[in-house]
Every structure is written in C-alpha cells, then in structure tokens.
Amino acid sequence: MHIVLDLYGRYALSYNISVTETAILAIEAFRRAFKMEPDAHPMIHTDRGAAYCSISFNNYLASRNCIHSMSHPGHPWENSPMERWWNDFKLIWLAKRARPETLEELEESVKESIEYFNTQRAYASKNGLTAENWLYTFYCVMILFRYAVFLIYYKDKSIDTQKKSHNDTFLLCILPRKLN
C-alpha cells in the first residue's frame, strides 16, 4: 500500500493498494497526488522500499522536477511523519474494526480511514483542527501572505514625490487560533 502524505498538514493526498508492491503502483499514487497539486515540485521523502528505489520511480520524480530524499538504512525516525500516520492507522483505525477478509474490504477500510484522518480527527498539534481544516487555513494564509508581499513590494518601490523618499509600509498578520 502506498500513501502520499502532505508533510505540513499530515493530509493524505492519495493512496494505492495492491497485493504486491511495485514501482508502477507507487507512481500511480503520486500521479493522483499531483492531480490535486499540479504545479507542485516538492521534496519527496520515502523509506527505502523497492518501489521507491526503482529507476522508473526516480525517473518519474525527476520528470516532475521533484527532489527525492530517502531515509538512511535502519533510521525509521527520519521518516517519522509517515511512520506516525501508519501507527495511527493501525492503532486508532484497524485495531477497532474487524479484520478485512478481502482486498476489496481492505480498500474500503483504507478509504474510510483516510476520510476520517483527513476530515474528522482533530489534532492537538494543529490547535484542535482536522488535517483538512489545517491545510485550508495554511492555503488561506499563504494567499493572504502573497497578496501582502505584493503590496509591500509595491509600496516600498513607490516614491513620495513631495519628500523624494520611499514610503514605509508595515504588515501585521494575525493568524486565527481556531477555525469554526
């Protein structure tokens, strides 16, 4: 099973399940993730699974202008956000449900768990927000930040013709503590 996780918000962007691990399935999981963020060129961090070490997977990432980072052998803490997601998936989700008997049942359970972890489970580390709300807040702040940076740049470049000096501009950003 391959899951593509947004590191900032711990938001599962996409997943792919199969009986065996292959580079083609890993690439497909990343293709789905890039449909959500088509202009992204992120650093991709993975463990050293066979699919992620393959030439075809690395060529795919290179074609997307991504940098591939891998954990050192025997250092699972270097991939701790993903390890934490798997831990939550096993202990919070799978441990409280009947064991799937078929691949279809497993797929349905994974789909439901991703929906739960993305949209329903609140995280103390995210000020009580779900991963989805945290990501939404992040994007809203980034849009405001980009707009504000443009305004500062524009104001600072303008010259007061009376005083023959640059205008001073100050920006105060107040981030919301909670999204209702």
Pairing of strands 67-70, 43-46: parallel
Is the pLDDT at 154 greater than 70, yes or no? no
Least confident of 4-13, 122-131, 162-171: 162-171
pTM over 0.75: no
48 vs 101 pLDDT, higher one: 101
Is the pLDDT at 158 greater than 60, yes or no? no
Is the pLDDT at 95 greater than 60, yes or no? yes
pLDDT digits (tens, 9 = 90+) for 38-60: 787 778 888 888 888 899 999 99
Least confident of 13-22, 33-42, 150-159: 150-159
Q: List the end-to-end C-alpha distance of the chain, in Å, as a whole number.
A: 34
Least confident of 1-10, 147-156, 169-178: 169-178
Closest to 66 (Cα-Cα) out of 76, 52, 79, 77: 52
Distances (CA, A) of 50 to 12, 24, 44, 53: 21, 11, 15, 5
How far does Cα 179 stand from its chain's mean position? 19
Is the pLDDT at 178 greater than 50, yes or no? no
